[in-house]
Amino acid sequence: MKKMSNIYESAANTLGIFNSPCLTKVELRVACKGISDRDALSKPDPCVILKMQSHGQWFEVDRTEVIRTCINPVFSKLFTVDFYFEEVQRLRFEVHDISSNHNGLKEADFLGGIECTLGQIVSQRKLSKSLLKHGNTAGKSSITVIAEELSGNDDYVELSFSARKLDDKDFFSKSDPFLEIFRVNDDATQQLVHRTEVVMNNLNPAWKTFKVSVNSLCSGDQDRRLKCIVWDWDSNGKHDFIGEFSSTFKEMRGAMEGRQVQWECINPKYKAKKKNYKNSGIVILNQCKIHKMHSFLDYIMGGCQIQFTVAIDFTASNGDPRNSCSLHYIHPYQPNEYLKALVAVGEICQDYDSDKMFPAFGFGARIPPEYKVSHDFAINFNEDNPECAGIQGVVEAYQSCLPKLQLYGPTNIAPIIQKVAKSASEETNTKEASQYFILLILTDGVITDMADTREAIVHASHLPMSVIIVGVGNADFSDMQMLDGDDGILRSPKGEPVLRDIVQFVPFRNFKHASPAALAKSVLAEVPNQVVDYYNGKGIKPKCVSEYESSRTLAP
């Protein structure tokens, strides 16, 4: 146990990198007004893309759903972002018209955007700005962003609604119903919480189960009024009102343990006019499940170990290690880029690993004794035990193996991803949050087995592992950005999408003159969320509830 408590101490010290002071999660809701389309005959199909600036570059964080034929869209999907009080976090909201036959941005019409900082939105709570297109205002169009801090309760709720005998609003077919749920705020304003999909031509629809945070649903107040409206969808965007009802989260919780809750869906106009009007249908909540959200600290302090593996590129493009121009040149007084990146990232990861033993591999070299090319050899040349003692052990193994290798090629990284995935796959059999794997790949160039690598990453996205790639040197790394699923979704060659975004790519040159901590922070920033997403998504709780977690558990 002594060893574990040391981990907590060192983890608590380095957590500064993961949890900058005041890490608060903020939910952003977006709505637009008056967006015009270049095609005057049709209304746009808008979608808002949120981008965040990091080291001068914009990266996509998330995007809303697409709302068909709408000039004043109120989006149902929330953006959840981490707010760091001490950092200027630049955001860009872009509105695009996404044509129905293509969900990418290639054909999408850019309708306008705004730039601001997260601090501005948080301090004003509600920020409205005119949309700009190429520096000019885009007609009379505007965007409104509302910020809400997530209180300590990160739990989310899963709801499953259906309806029966809804009013028929269509002459030639049945209604096409969808349901909207609004939270009624203290100032009596209404905030859209969720909009279901449309079920076509059906007066007895069963809508898909959806998840929403308890905070978003009722701001943590179980008695807060929720207003629910059923609409009949119309392709021209003018949806017909079917009926409405009110509820509370407290009432919805009645649909736990297999029970149902029902409401009469009422159209007030019909109720006032028609004598024997009963209702416009019945809405049924078939299930309400509450999921406890655990944090990164809950898992670490519950005994989850971070298993850190290093893979180093020994292809010929690095240059002859004996030559001072080589990226692998061992300078007597200062470390090369490979060593700088290894130490910066490794020193943080080692705080979360109790045995401090790290497997270290090389790829793209001919290795003794037969000098055959290998893409996953142990740099200590001990295939049965590739582990090195501490980051220092990795550094020493790297320095002593260099003279014995013949740098070669090609740059294949799929084998090493598959090797770590094999260990991560064995870990899944335990059904516990005991080991999470991080593979750090240091490479100088564009990889040659892109199809196999994409396949390997899609497979690995189902496992407790993350891949960090640091690009060393001055090569063109544009292909590598594709593996980091920030701008769109990475897919395998067969078209299978990644289950979660597990790759982080960073060019070392962006940090040449920055501190090692800046590199580590950028590279490791996504890891805590990746760990949490994996275990929460699988419904795996921390192994043992730590004192930390029990101190922050909210009463039901």
Render pLDDT for 438-494 as a digit per residue (tens, 0 to 9): 999 999 987 899 999 999 999 999 999 999 999 999 888 877 777 765 556 788 888
Task: Compare 333 and 94 and report the one with higher pLDDT.
Answer: 94
Most confident stretch, 53-57, 110-114, 300-304: 110-114
What pLDDT does 516 receive?
A: 75
> Which two tokens mark 523?
């590279």
Residue pair 333/507 in contact (Cβ under 8 Å)? The answer is: no
What pLDDT does 522 receive?
A: 78
What pLDDT does 424 receive?
A: 96
Whether residue 545 has pLDDT greater than 80:
no
Whether residue 11 has pLDDT greater than 60:
no
Residue pair 17/521 in contact (Cβ under 8 Å)? The answer is: yes
Residue pair 76/30 in contact (Cβ under 8 Å)? The answer is: no
Whether residue 285 has pLDDT greater than 90:
yes
Q: What is the pLDDT of residues 233-282, one digit of tens each?
A: 998 889 999 999 999 999 999 988 788 999 999 999 999 998 899 999 99
Q: What is the pLDDT of residues 386-419, one digit of tens each?
A: 999 999 999 999 999 999 999 999 999 999 999 9
Q: Lowest mean pLDDT of 3-7, 89-93, 412-416, 479-483, name the range.
A: 3-7
In one letter, which amino acid is 175? S
DSSP run (H or E) holding 341 = helix 337-349
Report the pLDDT averaged over residues 133-161: 83
Q: What's the rounded Cα separation, in Å, for the pair 167 and 207?
A: 17
Q: What is the DSSP letter of 86?
A: T
Q: Which residues pair with 53 in a beta bridge?
A: 58
What pLDDT does 161 receive?
A: 97
Cα 24–26–31 angle (5° rounding)?
170
CA dihedral 451, 455, 456, 460 (to 10 degrees): 150
Distance of CA 527 to the CA centre of its chain: 10
Q: What's the rounded Cα separation, in Å, for the pair 375 and 366?
A: 9
DSSP run (H or E) holding 523 = helix 516-524
Q: Kindly give the residue spans of alpha helices, DSSP state H, lying in 70-160.
A: 118-124
Listed residue (287, 153, 155, 158) closest to 211, CA to CA: 158
- Band the pLDDT of 14: cuts 50, 70, 90: very low
Alpha-carbon separation of residue 334 from 156, 329, 380, 390 (angstroms): 50, 10, 22, 20
Cα first-last separation, the chain = 32
Report the pLDDT averaged over residues 129-148: 88
Alpha-carbon separation of residue 193 from 27, 76, 218, 228 (angstroms): 11, 6, 9, 10
Residue pair 305/354 in contact (Cβ under 8 Å)? The answer is: yes
> Percent of the chain at pLDDT above 70?
89
Domain 156-291 annotated CATH 2.60.40.150: yes
> Which two tokens mark 30?
């977006």
Phi/psi at 307 (5° precision): -95, 115
Q: What is the pLDDT of residues 510-522, one digit of tens each?
A: 887 777 777 777 7
β-strands 365-367, 503-507: how paired? unpaired
Listed residue (526, 533, 84) closest to 299, CA to CA: 533
Q: Provide the CATH number for the domain formed by 24-150 in this structure.
A: 2.60.40.150
- Band the pLDDT of 220: cuts 50, 70, 90: confident
Whether residue 9 has pLDDT greater than 70:
no
Q: What is the pLDDT of residues 360-385, one digit of tens each?
A: 999 999 999 999 999 999 999 999 99
Phi/psi at 176 (5° precision): -115, 80
Whether residue 18 has pLDDT greater than 60:
no
Q: What's the rounded Cα separation, in Å, for the pair 360 and 398?
A: 9
- Asked if the peptide bond before residue 386 counts as cis, ω within 30 degrees of 0, the response is no
What pLDDT does 287 receive?
A: 93
All CATH 2.60.40.150 domain ranges in the chain, comma separated = 24-150, 156-291
Q: What is the DSSP letter of 446?
A: -
What pLDDT does 103 receive?
A: 53
Residue 192 CB neighbour total at 10 angstroms = 16
Strands (E), 314-382: 357-363, 365-367, 372-374, 377-378
What pLDDT does 207 receive?
A: 97
> Which two tokens mark 221?
């107040």
Residue 207 CB neighbour total at 10 angstroms = 20
What pLDDT does 333 receive?
A: 81
- Band the pLDDT of 92: cuts 50, 70, 90: very high
> Which two tokens mark 466?
């993350």
In one letter, which amino acid is 127? L
Most confident stretch, 57-61, 219-223, 378-382: 378-382
Whether residue 167 has pLDDT greater than 80:
yes
Whether residue 555 has pLDDT greater than 80:
no
> Percent of the chain at pLDDT above 90?
50
Distance of CA 141 to the CA centre of its chain: 29
- Band the pLDDT of 107: cuts 50, 70, 90: low
- Band the pLDDT of 229: cuts 50, 70, 90: very high
DSSP run (H or E) holding 149 = strand 136-149
Listed residue (234, 71, 263) closest to 163, CA to CA: 263
What mean pLDDT, rounded, does the chain reach?
A: 85
Report the pLDDT averaged over residues 26-49: 85
All CATH 3.40.50 domain ranges in the chain, comma separated = 296-432+456-538
Q: What is the DSSP letter of 461?
A: T
What pLDDT does 550 receive?
A: 44
What pLDDT does 464 receive?
A: 96
Task: List Cβ neighbours of 142 (8 Å cut-off, separation of 6 or more).
Answer: 32, 33, 34, 128, 129, 130, 131
Residue pair 175/166 in contact (Cβ under 8 Å)? The answer is: yes
Q: Kindly give the residue spans of alpha helices, DSSP state H, lying in 209-289.
A: 214-218, 249-252, 268-273
Q: Provide the CATH number for the domain formed by 296-432+456-538 in this structure.
A: 3.40.50
Query: What is the DSSP annotation of 167-230?
Result: PP--SSS---EEEEEEEEPTTS-EEEEEE----TT-SS-BPPPEEEEHHHHHTT-TTS-EEEEE
- Band the pLDDT of 526: cuts 50, 70, 90: confident
Residue pair 312/405 in contact (Cβ under 8 Å)? The answer is: no
Q: Lowest mean pLDDT of 139-153, 186-200, 201-215, 245-259, name the range.
A: 139-153
Listed residue (43, 39, 115, 112) closest to 72, CA to CA: 43
In one letter, which amino acid is 324? S
Task: Compare 18 and 501 and report the one with higher pLDDT.
Answer: 501
